[in-house]
Amino acid sequence: MIMPAHSSASADAWFHSVDGRRYKRHFGWLIVAKAVLLATLYFLCIAPQTRADTSPDAVRRRIVPESTQTPATTQP
């Protein structure tokens, strides 16, 4: 059986064919599903959580806890 040649014009038009349109639809749905999942993840798992205190004081306390805020009197 001899198939008709795929001309350059028909090659360009693949994305306009049934299969090409289906791929574009899948691609679009993929992006939508991803965005919805990401938003769900953010609103369910991340947004309701207590935010970490990252004020300059809190960061200082992380490295130098309250008990050692005064200068050390002896050398280690």
Binding site for other proteins (CB under 8 A): 1-8, 11-17, 19, 23, 26-27, 30-31, 33-34, 37-38, 40-42, 44-46, 49-50, 52-54, 56, 58-60, 62-65, 67-72, 74-76
Cβ at position 46, least distance to other proteins in Å: 6
List Cβ neighbours of 42 (8 Å cut-off, separation of 6 or more): none
CA distances from 4 to 7, 9, 16, 47 (A): 9, 13, 18, 57
Cβ at position 45, least distance to other proteins in Å: 3
